Amino acid sequence: MDFFVIDGGRPLRGAVRVSGSKNAALPILISTLLTDDECAIHNVPELRDIRTTVRLLELMGKRVSYARGTAVVAAKARLKTRAPYDLVKQMRASVLVAGPLLARFHRAQVALPGGCTIGVRPIDIHLEAFKRLGAKVSTEHGDVVLSCDRLSPGAVRFRFPSVGATENLMMAAAGIRGTTVLRNAAREPEIEDLGIFLTRMGARVTGAGTSTVTVEGTSRLHGAEHWVIPDRVEAGTFLLAAAATRGDVRLVGAKPAHLEALLEAVRRSGAVVTELPEGLRVRAPKRPRPVDVRTEPHPGFPTDLQAPWMAYMALADGKSKVREAVFENRFLHAAELGRMGARIRTGGERAVIEGVPELLGAPIMASDIRAGAALVVAALAAKGQTVIQRVYHIDRGYERLEKKLRALGAQIRRAH
């Protein structure tokens, strides 16, 4: 199994291009199940969750060619309506096939998801909403089976603005004739991007990116072409790595409007963030000041940057707090950071971080995508050598991470 060897303590300097968004590309690729026409999706990052999605689409009966960031998805055989456990357990977002399949074939069978080790992560919000549109839900041998005579458009109010449930329901609603209104919807930029793609396919989606999304669907969706938005989580991770190493980095393609809560926190910590025509620049000449954050659905501070943020705050000049209000059990990185000398106490959804003047390299282990990213941030800033095991978690979500970091002057290599 691959591991990273990082010799830390070097400020990152230079420019890095932000890749296409993984979390936007996943539902957009999956929504090609709504048509037999060809769809071309560009700016798709080359990473493990995308390869899993391509395999999932192929297994469902699609033909996919994927090269140099473009995925072309076309019909090959009659589509299957079952997503097997083998893939769903690797990637929880596989559950998103339910919406398109239910709309088109009135049936979807999806293994109950596994995915990251960050809390319980049920899919009850998805299922409740499908029921509202007329689906019946049962479980069979570890699979959830959704079925209906016909899915009907209607009004849905989510009990929590779940990203996946909003996407799943938008896709289902796009594929059925009539108007569906989703209230208390997630407002993430990736939802907006999916709305644009579904509109290009022939549905009419308004309000995506706000808490009320209206979808006028049609049973005749057609092929479409799309460019995926830049990855705000990758951009945020590089930004924090630059700040933690007291570097000076330009993030080419980063969209400040997608990163407001992070930028505010980073500025309060004393780093200088400037908007450039081509993206963002971050400079961090000094040790960070402590800043408290609380994760929330967008536009709040993103849970996906909570772990890298904690790595940054581990080096702050004082005590800061983190409250993780989106996922349970998303502090697995704290103990690993502790092995590098960080002083972090966690309890329930709260963490208290006593900043230390320096972290020291150590052998450590990634436990999920973003926890892994946090360890990379810490290792880049730390004195001495860090070996990070279980890099496959990081590979799920970051495109060519070590190459991009090396171009910024980091000493990082992959070994196995």
Q: Which residues contribute to the site for ligand UD1 (CB under 6 A)?
A: 23, 26, 92-93, 119-126, 160, 162-165, 186, 190, 303-304, 326-327
Enter the DSSP assignment of 88. Answer: H
Residue 178 CB, nearest approach to ligand UD1 (Å): 24
| Cβ-based neighbour number of residue 320 at 10 Å | 25
Peptide bond into 299 cis (omega under 30): yes
Q: State how far the Cα of 333 lies from the Cα of 356, in Å rounded to an integer.
A: 17
Measured from the CB atom, the residue of 67 and 120 that comes closer to ligand UD1 is 120
CB 217, CB 209: distance < 8 Å = no
Q: At 101, is the secondary structure helix, strand, or coil? A: helix
Query: CB within 8 A of 114, min separation 6: which ones?
Result: 88, 89, 90, 92
Nearer to ligand UD1, 217 or 297 (CB): 297
CB of 378 to ligand UD1, least distance (A): 20
Q: Which amino acid is at 359?
A: L
Gap between the Cα atoms of 381 and 314, Å rounded: 10
Q: Which is nearer to ligand UD1, 304 or 402 (CB)?
A: 304
- The span from the CA of 1 to the CA of 3, in Å, is 7
- Closest separation in Å from C-beta 213 to ligand UD1: 14
Beta strands in 53-147 (DSSP E): 62-67, 70-75, 82-83, 107-111, 136-140, 143-147
Select 234 or 402, whichever has its Cβ closest to ligand UD1: 234
Q: Is position 148 annotated as part of the catalytic site?
A: no
C-beta of 210: minimal distance to ligand UD1 in Å?
16
Cis before 302 (ω within 30): no
Of the residues 102, 116, 133, 146, which is catalytic? 116
With CB atoms as reference, the residue minimizing the distance to ligand UD1 is 164
Minimum Å gap between C-beta 167 and ligand UD1 is 7
Instruction: Kindly tell me which of 62 and 232 has the beta carbon lying closer to ligand UD1.
Output: 232
Hey, what are 312's tokens? 């940054």
Structural tokens at position 121:
């992560």
Q: Which residues are identified as catalytic?
A: 116
